[in-house]
Amino acid sequence: MKTVPTLFFATGACFALLGMIWGIQMSATGDHSLSPAHGHLNLVGFVTMSIMGIYYALTPAAATSKWAMPHYLLTVVSVVILVPGIVMALSENGEVLAKAGSALAVLSMLTFLAIILKLGFGEKA
């Protein structure tokens, strides 16, 4: 099984690659109407997950805690629901998924905050 930091980094890199491909597609077609969803994919999917991966890499106690894997899964699910939800909202096909994804993203960040406050930062936290 891959370590939690590796999962966060690898998944973040996959989301970044998808964001890059999507950005190229938008540029090629000249249609940037979905750029807010593209931005969220890059920010929440790549940047946030990479920062979380750094934290887990630098704080082994957090990476091996019972909350690390549920936190990873919650973060991935939030991105997978949020980004298509924003696409749907921008396309005027409803905002339910965007709202649900947003709530999950907030829950993911609250989980991250709780882990930081409980376990600290660094090897000797």
Residue 105 has pLDDT above 80, yes or no: yes
Q: Give residue limits of the domains in the chain.
A: 4-119
- pLDDT confidence bin for 96, thresholds 50/70/90: very high
User: pTM score, two decimals?
Assistant: 0.94
> Over the stretch 17-44, which tens digit does the pLDDT of each residue have?
999 999 999 999 999 999 999 999 999 9
Mean pLDDT, rounded, for 77-97: 97
The predicted pLDDT at position 2 comes to 83
Percent of the chain past pLDDT 70, that is, above it, reads: 98
Q: For residue 31, which phi and psi values (nearest 5 degrees)? A: -105, 105
Mean pLDDT, rounded, for 101-111: 98
C-beta of residue 47 within 8 angstroms of C-beta of residue 24? no
The predicted pLDDT at position 125 comes to 57
The predicted pLDDT at position 1 comes to 59
Torsion of CA 34, 16, 60, 74, to 10 degrees: 30
> Over the stretch 42-77, which tens digit does the pLDDT of each residue have?
999 999 999 999 999 999 999 999 999 999 999 999
